Amino acid sequence: MRVWFAGVGEACDPFEPNVCLAVEGGGERLLLDCGFCAAAAYLRSVPEPGRLRAVCISHFHGDHFFGLPSLLLQFWVWRRTAPLAIIGPAGVGRVVTSAMELAFGSLPGKLTFPLLFVEAASGMRLEEGPFALGFAAPE
């Protein structure tokens, strides 16, 4: 297993990109959160960034998911065709689609790859390729 810390900064950190961890295991890659400026850090610092299988969004604060539209735009520019799972709290499909529309207008209708939205709930266990994910309610 390999882990890249593409972003470790908090919401207003002027020196570090927002939270963004890439985890690789079994030849697959999962991204944990993708804050405001984290997409650029991921694309710059992780080898073969297009190999991403899934993105897991912990919650809908900008410093945890506002970088996702630019990441998806880059994948569209690269003409990605492989599906991408986006896992997050209830409403993840609506929220991510709205963010893409706000950031890049008609991007959701132009994507060359399917987005597979998965709503996570407390107590849920999910297997995404070689990754086993467990979810708990926020305190």
List, by residue number, the catalytic residues: 63
**Residue 63 phi, psi (nearest 5):** -75, 5
Which residue's structure tokens are 């991007």?
A: 107
Q: Show contacts of 94-98: CB within 8 Å, 24+ apart.
A: 95/60, 95/65, 96/57, 96/65, 96/68, 96/69
Dihedral sign (CA 101, 106, 107, 111): positive
- Give the Cβ contact number of residue 21 at 10 Å: 18
